[in-house]
A and B are shown apart, each in its own frame.
Chain A
Amino acid sequence: MSVPISSSTGGLLEGIAATSPFVVLSVGAVLLMVLSTFFKGKLSPSAFATVVLLGALFALSRVIGAGNQLPESVFGGMVTLDLLSGYMTALILCGSLLAVCLGGRSLAKQGVESLPEFYVLFLIAVAGAILFCCASEMVTLFLALETMSMALYCMCGSALSRRESTESALKYFLLGSFSSAIMLYGIALLYGITGSLSYAGIAAGLAHSDSWFLIAVAIGLTLVGLIFKIGSVPFHFWAPDVYQGAPTTVTVFMATVIKAASIGALLRILTLVFDERAQAWTPIIWYASLLSMVVGNFLALRQRSVKRMLAYSSVANAGYLLLGALGHGELAGGESAILYYLVGYTVMTLGSMGVVMIIAEGNKEQSDDVRFFNGLSQSNPILAAMMALFMLALAGLPPGMVGLIGKIYLFSSAVRADFWGLAIVGILASVIGCYYYLNIIVAMYFKPADKAVDSRPLSIGISRGAVLAFCAIAIVLLGTFPSSVYNLGLNSPPAQIALVAIE
């Protein structure tokens, strides 16, 4: 993954071929925009979006299949194609596909009126997310960030009839623009120091520069934008409100795909651009990780709204992931740990958000209060069992093995990089997490259903049921055969891979 960026850059056609998933998504978005005006009411935008996503996945498989014939970076070094790009693109596309299958049907119920526009924005956001983690030049990075974010702002506010939706969009937009502006300032400083905008150029420039104060400021400001998007403390304040106010489908998308893309971009920048200057960013990430784990877990304790609880849990998870970023490098293997945990986190969060969506649709107030989970094991045993699995996985308890093994990977990578204290804090913080995750299980299994709540079986639907089942199976399989996914990251500590059995 930490393959040095080679100087070979292909021509335009090669570039388009190499970034074909992105191209498919962009073209699909534009097509949808045009077609939906001509065939109003005749074209199912969700089906169209699904087809586009599948097309992008197909394109990705061709790109990966072509493998070594493609150049490592295209468009004059603006976009890099390496293992990280491929991995993140696949994760983003699969996550988006699952999010559409999970939440597409209930968009109307969540108050989204103009579906074609929503899906146009959705496709644009996915395209932006992909570019975000493949970018290897600062302007491309910023453009990708804005493409993704602008679409997201609108998506958050797409439930026009609900005031919370508008509020969340405004909040997200204001805070997001600020953080983007700060990041842009950081990029400008980096350009000032190194005279380059490409990752390789900046890395080389930073290695030679000795104005350490400027470097520290520039790195700090650049990281602000990324940490904001990840939803890590101290830039987490938007997360609960936006997650709660936005249509749940958008929340699912933000909590999984967008977070994954931002982590991917952060990982690339930290390891490729700022690697030489680790002493400047290590304290930032250290504190962000520590605070996210502690604050996220503590604030999640008191939430009644399950969506808010999951929002704080995603803050805490951002902290765990940053722990892996600290443990990056050949020996510690933090990159592989992050990639493994991201896959796990995506399925765990998708699954639990899906259940929340179903519960909220089942009551008149559209509420996701924890009391609507009471007695779920009686009225909907299968749904309750799946939710229990998702909660156990997030809590890191067997049989939800993926959460446990993912955290072990992350913590042990931090330990190998000598961040002992932080790993212990992480372990302790995840114990606090057990409490609120298990609280949902208490409600579902140990408490009787509220009289006021309608206890008839909830309608799940085929596509949603399939996604939930997929997530549940993925959690078990990922936990049982962790090496198969972890080794895709191919950064495992070399000393330990070779000898599996010494008998």
Chain B
Amino acid sequence: MFLESAFINSNILSLLTWLPLAAAAFLFLVPSFNKQQDPQGSRSRAFATIFGLGVFYLSLTLLKRFEVQDGGIQFEEVLPWIDAIGVRYRLGIDGVSLWLVLLTTFLMPIVYIASTSVHSNPRGYLASMLVLQSAMIGTLVALDMFLFYVFWELMLAPMYFIIGIWGGKNRIYATLKFVLYTVVGSVLMLIAVLYVAWRASEQHILLPFDITLLNQSLNLTFAEEFWIFLAFALAFGIKVPIFPFHTWLPDAHVEAPTGGSVILAGVLLKMGLYGFIRFAYPLAPRAAEYFGPLLAILGVIGIIYGALVAWAQTDMKKLVAYSSVSHLGYCVLGVAAFNSIATAGSIYQMLNHGITTGALFLLVGVLYDRKHTRLIADYGGLASKVPVFAALFLVFTFSSIALPLTNGFVGEFLILVGSFKVFPILTATAGIGVVLGAVYMLTLYLKTSFGEFDEKKNGDLTDVSLRELVTFIPLVILVFVMGIYPQPFLDRMEPTLTNYFSMVTARSERLAALTAAQDPSSEEAGSEEESGDTDDDSASSPDVLSLGGIVDAEFHVMQVSNASR
């Protein structure tokens, strides 16, 4: 079959990244998609849907050809790009990014199908979405920090247009807030990236933006790590968003069109967590350990605070938006706990959140398309009038409150188990969030689906159409598959995470040894800083050390430093 051809095999990540962009250009340039010939946008929609499905099919070959036992980078592609500062076009995926890439390619066709609710200029909407798809996949597969930054920034422009053009009443305010937050974050990231690259070229690392190489051989003092981690953490934390930086999210969600919300919650927010895992932790492992408790506290605050605020909402979309803050708090906690179980749980929870919250936004969109209101008070007794809708709503409500046998349960369970070893009190507190989550979601469900059906106001409400059902069915299937049989997902993460933790631990130890050797006078200060973390250290390191592979990592370091000479 043509998918087995050598060209596709060796360029699959580039194809996944750039094909959507090409499709966007195609949509823009070919006149049969223009306003006169395609006023309803049905042709554009059909094109984007078929295209999105094609890309999803292509991405499934990743899954098929992914070496389960290989914890390293797979499907790697390298081309020279900006020689003068040592930037390369380097793509590759491992067990972490594999699933996020698949999540993206899986959600996009659903968004394309669901774009019928966009009436003004659907062609432009779909083209923006296609560009966004390119940017998101590029961000996930880039292994060069500068390339990552470029794709990261490229995600901004299409999302800006999607909210700004096809958004609600307050869209200009929402876009402004979204852009300002994001740009501040990315500037901090840029500064950190440039600093790292500068340090790397001082140390004669030939490709100062290559993340693998940097992890192996970049030397940093603790103070440097401290600032680098802080800059990265702010950049990624704004994107997630972690508690005090979350205020842009509800505004953006409420104003965004349904598809925009699905992608924002489904994929864009995960980029922050992915950035933590891929860049912030490995580059600054000691600072990460130092900031770990703070990150965990903020995560738990996010869980509780998000849940409480969600409970108080009268607007369904805002409720789901705040529930996102709460759910992502678990992921933050899991990443901060920094062991393979919690991190695997975090990644799993990212996938869950993409599926469940995406579906909830779609459901809210279904109601909004029909009645043009999202207020909870305007609905009631939906179960009697629109039973299929109510059934779907129930499934995703259960998934959102992490009922066993749904995907949410697996993710939250792994996170709580993994982080309990490291932050017992915080994790216990986070458990309250699970209860609160059940409270606000079930309240929402009760108020909308049960009770009195207002025939006068909502008499013309129709059940989900076939087209809408098509978008929900794959999501429902995944909710149960991932809830009942998570092993295939975890199997592919495990070798990567094993490698990852041994690499980060080895790096952390190497840096600590280097600091001690280079600067004996600062040992006192260093030991003071470290004495605060000894508890975490002793709690997490046995787990991490048992994963082994340190010798291997050290061997790599030696190899590279030899090569660079």
Contacts of A438 in B (CB 8 A): 160, 179
Are the C-beta atoms of A415 and B187 separated by less than 8 Å? Answer: no
Known: A392-B157, A399-B154, A446-B172. A336 touches B84 (CB 8 A): yes
Contact with B along A45-81 (1 / 0, CB 8 A): 0000000000000000000000000000000000000
Contacts of B385 in A (CB 8 A): none
Q: Closest CB of chain A to B71's CB: distance in Å?
A: 18
Are the C-beta atoms of A482 and B82 separated by less than 8 Å? Answer: yes
Among candidates B81, B190, B207, residue contacting A483 with C-beta atoms closer than 8 Å: B81
Q: Closest CB of chain B to A488's CB: distance in Å?
A: 11
Are the C-beta atoms of B157 and A496 separated by less than 8 Å? Answer: no
In whole angstroms, how far apart are the Cα atoms of A109 and B57 in the complex?
Answer: 56
Are the C-beta atoms of B164 and A442 separated by less than 8 Å? Answer: yes
Contact with A along B57-83 (1 / 0, CB 8 A): 000000000000000000000101111
Contacts of A483 in B (CB 8 A): 80-84
Using CB atoms, name the residue of chain A closest to B213.
Answer: A502
B156 within 8 A of A: yes
Q: How many residues on B have C-beta within 8 angstroms of the other chain's C-beta atoms?
A: 45
Q: Closest CB of chain B to A387's CB: distance in Å?
A: 14
Q: Closest CB of chain A to B502's CB: distance in Å?
A: 22
Contacts of B175 in A (CB 8 A): 442, 446
Chain A residues engaging chain B, CB cutoff 8 angstroms: 333, 336, 377, 392, 397-399, 401, 404-405, 408-409, 411-412, 415-416, 423-424, 427-428, 430-431, 434-435, 438, 441-442, 445-447, 482-483, 486-487, 492-493, 495-497, 499-503
In whole angstroms, how far apart are the Cα atoms of A74 and B390 in the complex?
Answer: 86
In whole angstroms, how far apart are the Cα atoms of A346 and B398 in the complex?
Answer: 57
Are the C-beta atoms of B88 and A501 separated by less than 8 Å? Answer: yes
In whole angstroms, how far apart are the Cα atoms of A232 and B180 in the complex?
Answer: 27
Are the C-beta atoms of B153 and A412 separated by less than 8 Å? Answer: no
Q: Closest CB of chain B to A65's CB: distance in Å?
A: 26
Contacts of B84 in A (CB 8 A): 333, 336, 409, 483, 486-487, 492-493, 496-497
Are the C-beta atoms of B201 and A495 separated by less than 8 Å? Answer: yes
**Interface-facing stretch out of B191-199, B290-298, B361-369:** B191-199
Contacts of A333 in B (CB 8 A): 84
Return the 8 tightest CB-CB contacts between A and B, nearest first.
A492-B84, A398-B154, A446-B164, A500-B80, A496-B86, A499-B206, A483-B83, A415-B198
Chain B residues engaging chain A, CB cutoff 8 angstroms: 78, 80-86, 88, 131, 135, 146, 150-151, 153-154, 156-157, 160-161, 164-165, 171-172, 175, 179-180, 183-184, 187, 190-191, 194-195, 197-198, 201, 204, 206-208, 213, 560, 563-564
7 contacts between A and B (CB under 8 A): A408-B194, A411-B194, A423-B194, A427-B190, A482-B81, A492-B84, A495-B201
In whole angstroms, how far apart are the Cα atoms of A401 and B135 in the complex?
Answer: 13
Q: Closest CB of chain B to A89's CB: distance in Å?
A: 23
Among candidates A397, A427, A428, residue contacting B153 with C-beta atoms closer than 8 Å: A397
Contacts of A446 in B (CB 8 A): 164-165, 171-172, 175
Using CB atoms, name the residue of chain B closest to A430.
Answer: B187
Among candidates B82, B85, B172, residue contacting A442 with C-beta atoms closer than 8 Å: B172
Among candidates A397, A411, A486, residue contacting B157 with C-beta atoms closer than 8 Å: A397
Q: Closest CB of chain B to A145's CB: distance in Å?
A: 32
Using CB atoms, name the residue of chain A closest to B163.
Answer: A446
Q: Closest CB of chain B to A279's CB: distance in Å?
A: 23
In whole angstroms, how far apart are the Cα atoms of A63 and B283 in the complex?
Answer: 50
Contacts of A430 in B (CB 8 A): 187
In whole angstroms, how far apart are the Cα atoms of A442 and B172 in the complex?
Answer: 8
Q: Closest CB of chain A to B28's CB: distance in Å?
A: 8
In whole angstroms, how far apart are the Cα atoms of A446 and B164 in the complex?
Answer: 6
Contacts of B172 in A (CB 8 A): 442, 446-447
Are the C-beta atoms of B164 and A445 separated by less than 8 Å? Answer: yes
Using CB atoms, name the residue of chain A closest to B154.
Answer: A398
In whole angstroms, how far apart are the Cα atoms of A482 and B165 in the complex?
Answer: 32
Contacts of A435 in B (CB 8 A): 180
Contacts of B206 in A (CB 8 A): 495-496, 499, 502
Q: Closest CB of chain B to A440's CB: distance in Å?
A: 13
Are the C-beta atoms of A495 and B204 separated by less than 8 Å? Answer: yes
Q: Closest CB of chain A to B270's CB: distance in Å?
A: 20
| Listed residue (B88, B135, B150, B171) with the most chain A CB atoms within 10 angstroms of its CB | B150
Contacts of B201 in A (CB 8 A): 416, 493, 495-496
Contacts of A431 in B (CB 8 A): 183-184, 187
Are the C-beta atoms of A496 and B83 separated by less than 8 Å? Answer: yes
Q: Closest CB of chain A to B438's CB: distance in Å?
A: 39
Contacts of B146 in A (CB 8 A): 408
In whole angstroms, how far apart are the Cα atoms of A188 and B420 in the complex?
Answer: 77
Are the C-beta atoms of A415 and B194 separated by less than 8 Å? Answer: yes
Known: A409-B85, A446-B172, A483-B80. A424 touches B191 (CB 8 A): yes
Contacts of B151 in A (CB 8 A): 398
Are the C-beta atoms of B197 and A502 separated by less than 8 Å? Answer: no
In whole angstroms, how far apart are the Cα atoms of A412 and B146 in the complex?
Answer: 12
Sample of 15 further A-B pairs with CB below 8 A, known A427-B194, A428-B187, A493-B85 = A336-B84, A398-B154, A399-B157, A404-B150, A412-B85, A415-B194, A427-B187, A430-B187, A435-B180, A445-B161, A446-B164, A446-B165, A495-B201, A496-B206, A502-B564
Q: Closest CB of chain A to B207's CB: distance in Å?
A: 7
